[in-house]
Amino acid sequence: LLLALQVRLVMKAHSFIRENVPRVQSSIKDKSGTVHIPRISQYLYFLFAPTLIYRDNYPRNPTIRWGYVATKFAQVLGSLFYAYYIFVRLCIPQFHNSSQETFNLRGLVLCIFNSILPGVLILFLVFFAFLHCWLNAFAEMLRFADRMFYK
């Protein structure tokens, strides 16, 4: 989780620098008196907005739909409880039984194959909870209106 957060911050810092350095360099070359430097509020908004492309201004919704935000956070909590249920019912009994037996290759292969389906389910839950629910909730709280970019 910490590594993913660091990668996201490095990618956002790269985008911020890549967008602003050419503007500053061109204003220095032109010897114009005004150098456009982004405000700290623009940078902070960019850090929390669900985008990796820096712009000075993003399209914004006029209001926040708090019911939508609550629904998305409830879906995150539901995903966490469902992941816990998958671990308790499908993963832990499998490895608990294998820890009491002597080690053999057949047992290891059976444990791995019996863990593939729960692992895929957990992977889907993580993608749904974070990429869909969590980021959409923060986009709504920040009034970020550019969520239909690919449409």
Name the strand (E) or helix (H) holding 127: none
Instruction: Provide the domain limits for residue 6.
Output: 1-57
One domain for residues 82 and 27: no
pLDDT at residue 149 is higher than 70: no
Is 58 within 8 Å of 49 (Cβ atoms)?
Answer: yes
62 vs 100, which has greater pLDDT?
Answer: 62
The amino acid present at 53, given as its one-letter code, is I
pTM above threshold 0.75: no
User: Distance between CA 25 and CA 63 in Å, rounded?
Assistant: 37
Residues 75 and 145 both lie in one domain: yes
- DSSP bridge partners of 9: none
What pLDDT was estimated at residue 11? Answer: 95
* Last-in-domain residue among 17, 34, 57: 57
Q: Which residues contact 117 (CB under 8 A, 6 or more apart)?
A: 90
The total of structural domains in the chain comes to 2
One domain for residues 126 and 143: yes
> What value does the mean pLDDT take over residues 10-14?
94
pLDDT in tens, 86-111: 989 988 887 777 667 777 888 788 88
- 105 and 123 within one domain: yes
Cα gap 139→150, rounded to integer Å: 16
User: Same domain for 135 and 77?
Assistant: yes
Residue 83 and residue 63 share a domain: yes
Torsion sign across C-alpha atoms 65, 2, 47, 49: negative
- Burial of 53 (C-beta count, 10 Å sphere; 0-12/13-18/19+): middle
Indicate whether 72 and 145 sit together in one domain: yes
Our CA dihedral for 128, 129, 132, 135, rounded to 10 degrees, sits at -150
Question: Do 79 and 145 sit in the same domain of this protein?
Answer: yes
Identify which of 20, 57, 15 has the alpha carbon closest to the alpha carbon of residue 36. 20
Distance CA 83, CA 119 (A): 10
Which residue, of 57, 79, 99, is where some domain finishes?
57
34 pLDDT more than 80: no
Is residue 84 located within the same domain as residue 122? Answer: yes
